[in-house]
Amino acid sequence: MPNVASPANIMFERLLCCICGQSTADSDDYVLLGISAPGIPTEQWLGAHAEHLNGLLARGFSVEVHKM
């Protein structure tokens, strides 16, 4: 895993949903996904509505949002 700052420290604005392309600004189910690959020192960040992401995940996988 690349040695980078936490997404909570580097993401101050929400990203558009990578599934529907719409704003996530007022969404209660916003999720931030970090993608990395071994041997590559960079990461790709994607925002999504959890409901939309759950509609695309394989059976047995799901995203839950817990408010802190």
Of 36, 30, 6, the C-alpha closest to 18 is 30
Question: What pLDDT band is residue 42 in, cutting at 50, 70 and 90?
Answer: confident
Q: Tokens 């209660």 — which residue?
A: 28
Q: Is it the case that residue 36 has pLDDT exceeding 80? A: yes
Question: What pLDDT band is residue 1 in, cutting at 50, 70 and 90?
Answer: very low
Q: Is it the case that residue 9 has pLDDT exceeding 70? A: no
- Bigger pLDDT: 1 vs 65: 65
- The partner residues of 47 in beta bridges, in order of sequence, read 17, 32
CB 17 within 8 A of CB 24: yes
- pLDDT of res. 10: 55
Q: Tokens 């916003």 — which residue?
A: 30
Write out the two tokens for 47. Answer: 């925002």
